[in-house]
A = this chain, B = another copy of it.
Amino acid sequence: MQELLNVFKALSDETRLRILKIAEKGEICVCDLVSVLDMSQPKISFHLNTLKEAGLLKDRKQGKWVHYSINDSDMFRRFLVLSVLEKIPGEAVKKNLARLRTVMNIKNKNRCCEK
């Protein structure tokens, strides 16, 4: 039962829904998330860990960086996340997604997790 509760707890936070919405667009590293969401790094790390513990995100370490992405190994979670993200009003995450596009386009300077 606790495992199921952890999934819902993970989904009951606005910041975490934003993270999922961003991760839906593709794998993202912590430093980019900090920049896209404009929140402190420990705060982002805390929420990423919560999502990971709930089995909703998975991580991939590469050098200094850690990349997070939607964990699609479990059908129930995958489906939940899909239907949840569908339900988030576009207006609510508009700015985050715009910022994501901007950050992704800066391939040269200012860009973290890019060799």
- Mark A residues whose CB is within 8 Å of B: 1, 4-5, 8-9, 11-14, 17, 76, 79-80, 83-84, 87-89, 92
Residues of B within 8 A of A4 (CB): 17, 84, 87-88
- Of the candidates B1, B80, B88, B89, the one whose C-beta lies within 8 Å of that of A89 is B1
- Is the contact region of chain A dominated by helix, strand, or loop, or is it mixed? helix
The contact sample of 25 A-B pairs, CB cut-off 8 A, is A1-B14, A1-B17, A1-B88, A1-B89, A1-B92, A4-B17, A4-B84, A4-B87, A4-B88, A5-B12, A5-B13, A5-B14, A5-B17, A8-B8, A8-B9, A8-B11, A8-B12, A8-B84, A9-B12, A11-B12, A12-B12, A76-B83, A76-B87, A79-B83, A80-B83
